[in-house]
Structure 1
């Protein structure tokens, strides 16, 4: 690790050992309770290519993937190429490994930022056994790898923030580049934002920053350029328009949407819901000619669920995007109101988003206890009713996780304060760079996840929860230290 410019973990301490034992015992306990790894999403989730293609034509299919960045399908394909049940165990061990890594990296990050070891153990322990973590750790989907990469990148930056060693910076940027290649929510703009933060806060090291960021930036830009050349879309995913339309066009009253279609303000494609099977669009767009590549031509994966990597969806998504921006331009205040309402979903328990993992029954009792007494959820309620507005307004507010409602804005406010107090000095405190990186990611996920998406906003919050936990640990540690100092002063006076 030191050869890469990264300081390894400190020597094993009782708190460190307690977390390792706690992780292993908790996983064993929930395994006994019936919590098992779920890979069924391979066969019906939008994000995956045809299982047969992943198993038998992996790399050629990944090259022609425009619907999603490649890393999730690469992980799925590697497991499928193994003889069953080895593939299942491969995914199982990888996700368990990510869980243990999250636990230890969070603990070490907090310690390096000055948080007392036992306070870090308490906070990380509570996170480690939270229902959302348990469910996402047992699901072949990208929220858990994305959260792991965010935690790892934060830990790497803590290691490198003081002197910005070349090797450490390169590893940091390399890990950051994996996020846009895993999850389209982390756009190329996000990676440029990370580079800009380091450049702004470490102006004297700008050459080293640009040098170490060059190759990771090239990897992401190269994938985007490939999509531009092959599919005329400079992005990690061709779905942006369909997602944005779901958050705008299809929240209009039906009669108004139909009226706008008749008036020509919206295209006829908005008469069909986003992510409909491609056959529904036959009379609405000119479908492209066959390419000869199964991953682009087949309309249904294995003859069942729709293939959202079909070439037709590129133009379909562009039409939806044009309509979505029309709604934003014509009803800006209404759009801002709807975006603000997305926070009602954003702050619900992360395990309660629309797509279910099939493991809820295994932790149902624990989920109820944790959400009420740790997350502060006053009144659990049906997520589908909350999403489409069928819950009364009061019930929707009572269904939020008030722990996160409180600590998100408080942590952000304190983070900005810590950075501000450091800026007045000759040299920024080493922690200020890390705090700025954390704040950037929290704000980015809150904004992008609520502006362009609707329905699964709490799933996006899952990726930033560990970062908020880090800021909260610093605030709590500072608070406890001040109380302790005051008590000490009072005792000395007495």
Structure 2
């Protein structure tokens, strides 16, 4: 009886150790393993940093879902995700499927749903990087430190605030390497790699099925001793059914068996920007290329329609029958601009012709192709920065930390010939990262060595060798394909491999130092001492960066309130400040009043104008070229021109510059050529309201803005032209007042050499109304657009003979 009672007491009140054992048993083994390895800590820290950035002002933007080329039209994708994805041919389907399913069935808004996906992707990325570092033999504290450097720098973190697939693909790539070293009886490593690798290939066209075969073959070779027929069949069957089945679907529906139909257009973009327009025209005349190459890459279908055979879609789904897509109006953008739908079925023959033209250009101008490859390599190693302006103090601090941690240094001098063709596709001259250059070299050299060891079955540590070899295969593939076949998006490509490259290279260097460094220093350089030393170095670097950059101004308005002189006033030699309350208003950049006793600009005249030395030209057909600001004031300009009895052609494109435009729009040079053909020459005059993007990129890349201005002026020729100066007012991004002022000074120089060009000093007028700028420092509130239209029409009436 006593024994039974004691047994009952023991059962009811187990010892404390039994409580601990029970609690430990309740925690899944995977969670305990992640906590021990540092993967769980790294994932939680990444998630906390991302959440902190979001709650301190970093916005998640969904604009790109409705405008980016990779997406099917959003309204159709959200209403019928499965059907819309079935008819997708420009991209592998997985990311479009994710967006469509969330838009259709998620209980949350699309923005919140996508942000949760990005949060999860970032945490998976951090956890996977930490796990592969442990597989390489790194200690837990080192794992956490290296993982944060590799995954929480600005370039990686900021992609978490855009609905693009870069961060999810980076997570999948890291997970592929992580799973390749796993030991589990539930699912063989080869099968796990097959599943995740298939997801990568079905998300990003850069990772062609050939890449997947290379990765899977390497993993199967490493695990060959444990492979069974069942495992091999499962690993091969997954990609065969998914990738092969989708390719077969594309072949049946569109006659294209690839996962992405626009590879030919990408190839054209890789070489065409490095060839001058005059050379392209000559090659077209001798029959080397078609008109498609002359029109350019990724233009709206209307630009190709006249140079291609007649086309009608054979399918009826809206994702294939609409050449343009129209984003839904929002409170901030009540009249959104349409953008090309590159999934439009009639683009298929255009893509094929673009590929043929690209190959012809490479054969005819191999030097230009090689130069473009140098541009691409140059762009590859530019230091990552935030893609969008941020109001978050956390992101601002993180950007400075990243610059120090990745050792961002000034860009070296490049050949002067590289300045010939400014634009998005041209070589960037932003700071380069020494860490990324060295890390890439270390990974490729070490990866080649360990790959050879694996193939010869002589690896001392198979798991470590497999991680390094896979890192080299992934990095090498991304670099070669991203440089050889593309131009302009190298930063996006590299961003997907940055975490793996930085982490693996850091682990190699740390382990080399611990194993071979001087013994006395080796004993001192442990995480407990190294991390504080690294923190002190980082703080010193931040101080240096802060001293060089000066105190950050939150806005131009804040600078004005502090009474700081602006570049505009300094350029004119005047001590006035933006928003000054003195009797004399800001003098702008002094374009036209060169005498010291010139009267101040009248507050009644919206803009200063030049004195015309020639007789006033007669103008009736007005070709008005602009960017997004024209799109936002389209109705106002249409009404103003109508009241003046003029015949206007209003042509705008987002992000338009001399040789580029966003969202598939036509560049300024291309638009000029089109309207010279379409608009009657009699009494034809031009209004050029460009270019914010050229001003920003010229300042960012240290290019003389006169180059892009001269391209537009030469394209127009000697016809009457009025040029509206751009004005930028951001102090938290590259769209700065300094950039627009430098552009406008260059514009004045070019205009002085062309008697047909007059200038509207819109910057001078706009700086008197800083409260009317939106937060991006580029666009305005509605009353400001009324001032802009009034400034332009007043100037035209003063310098031209406007005829009804």
TM-score, normalisation: structure 2: 0.55
Q: Does the CA contact (< 8 Å) of 2:293 and 2:357 recur in 1?
A: yes
CA distance in 2, matches of 1:334, 1:308: 27
Q: Quote how far apart the aligned CAs of 1:335 are.
A: 2.1
- Given candidates 443, 457, 463, the residue that maps to 2:476 is 443
Aligned to 1:294: 318
Q: Quote how far apart the aligned CAs of 1:368 are.
A: 4.5
Aligned to 2:509: 476
The 1:362–1:456 alpha-carbon spacing in structure 2 relative to 1, beyond 3 Å, is farther
The 1:472–1:287 alpha-carbon spacing in structure 2 relative to 1, beyond 3 Å, is same
CA distance in 2, matches of 1:489, 1:364: 35
Q: Which has the larger share of helix?
A: 1
1:70-469 aligned within 5 A: 70-82=93-105, 85-160=108-183, 167-201=188-222, 205=227, 207=229, 208-209=231-232, 211-290=234-313, 291-302=315-326, 304-351=338-385, 356-357=387-388, 359=390, 365-366=396-397, 368-379=399-410, 390=422, 399-421=431-453, 429-431=461-463, 432-469=465-502
Q: Deviations 1:454-476 (Å, cap 9, x if unpaired)?
A: 11111100111122123213312
2:33 alignment partner, SS class = coil
The 1:227–1:360 alpha-carbon spacing in structure 2 relative to 1, beyond 3 Å, is farther
1:172 alignment partner, SS class = helix
1:474 alignment partner, SS class = helix
Aligned residues: 475
The 1:17–1:292 alpha-carbon spacing in structure 2 relative to 1, beyond 3 Å, is closer
Q: Does the CA contact (< 8 Å) of 1:120 and 1:473 recur in 2?
A: no
Q: Deviations 1:234-260 (Å, cap 9, x if unpaired)?
A: 211111111110111232122111110
CA distance in 1, matches of 2:354, 2:246: 23
The 1:300–1:11 alpha-carbon spacing in structure 2 relative to 1, beyond 3 Å, is closer
The 1:377–1:449 alpha-carbon spacing in structure 2 relative to 1, beyond 3 Å, is same
CA distance in 1, matches of 2:399, 2:371: 31
Q: Does the CA contact (< 8 Å) of 1:19 and 1:125 recur in 2?
A: yes
CA distance in 2, matches of 1:14, 1:164: 20
Q: CA RMSD in A?
A: 3.1
Q: Deviations 1:194-251 (Å, cap 9, x if unpaired)?
A: 2332355555548544542222232111111111111111211111111110111232
Q: Does the CA contact (< 8 Å) of 2:130 and 2:147 recur in 1?
A: yes
CA distance in 1, matches of 2:452, 2:257: 36
Q: Does the CA contact (< 8 Å) of 1:387 and 1:455 recur in 2?
A: no
* Structure 2 gap segments, 5+ residues each: 1-28, 328-337, 525-804
Q: Deviations 1:269-312 (Å, cap 9, x if unpaired)?
A: 11112111111111111242233221111111138211110011
The 1:141–1:362 alpha-carbon spacing in structure 2 relative to 1, beyond 3 Å, is farther
Q: Does the CA contact (< 8 Å) of 1:195 and 1:209 recur in 2?
A: no
Q: Does the CA contact (< 8 Å) of 2:43 and 2:124 recur in 1?
A: no
The 1:360–1:152 alpha-carbon spacing in structure 2 relative to 1, beyond 3 Å, is farther
CA distance in 1, matches of 2:453, 2:520: 26
The 1:348–1:210 alpha-carbon spacing in structure 2 relative to 1, beyond 3 Å, is farther
Q: Quote how far apart the aligned CAs of 1:486 are.
A: 3.4
Q: Does the CA contact (< 8 Å) of 1:348 and 1:401 recur in 2?
A: yes
Q: Does the CA contact (< 8 Å) of 1:267 and 1:323 recur in 2?
A: yes
Q: Does the CA contact (< 8 Å) of 1:346 and 1:458 recur in 2?
A: yes
* Structure 1 gap segments, 5+ residues each: 1-5
Higher relative contact order (CA 8 A, sep 6+): 1
CA distance in 2, matches of 1:232, 1:321: 16
The 1:321–1:145 alpha-carbon spacing in structure 2 relative to 1, beyond 3 Å, is same
Please tell me whether Structure 1 or Structure 2 has the larger radius of gyration of its CA atoms. 2
Q: Quote how far apart the aligned CAs of 1:27 are.
A: 2.6
